[in-house]
Amino acid sequence: MTAVANETTLDVEVDVRFTAAGAPLAVRFDGRIWAVGADPVHWFARNDWWNTRRTAARGTGDVVSVEYWRVQVRLGTNSALRTFTLRRDPLTTQWLLESISD
């Protein structure tokens, strides 16, 4: 799947490699490895659990905090930066590429 700049929501599974400090280092998307070329931005948002109707076993932990990273990535040293918004929902370890912009 190839994304274009005007797409707002992709929700495509991606592999993310992290530094020892826990920041994204590279993203594997569309068969390519995109290197992080600028400082990433990290934040958490709350899942609208009342709409998803997810249930979790007692003692599972935080089931409402959605983790986000906004990273500027490039394919090579001479390519332009693109912005990827990555999301990881609670109760999963899989990262999703939510959106791409130029």
| Residues 90, 3: Cα–Cα separation, whole Å | 25
Encoding tokens for residue 13? 């599974």
Is residue 74 predicted with pLDDT exceeding 90? Answer: yes
- Percent of the chain exceeding pLDDT 70 equals 79
The answer to which of 17-21, 57-61, 77-81 has the lowest mean pLDDT is: 57-61
| Residues 62, 32: Cα–Cα separation, whole Å | 33
Residues 6+ apart with CB under 8 A from 30: 1, 2, 3
Is residue 5 predicted with pLDDT exceeding 60? Answer: no
**Which residue, 32, 30, 35, 43, is CA-closest to 70?**
43
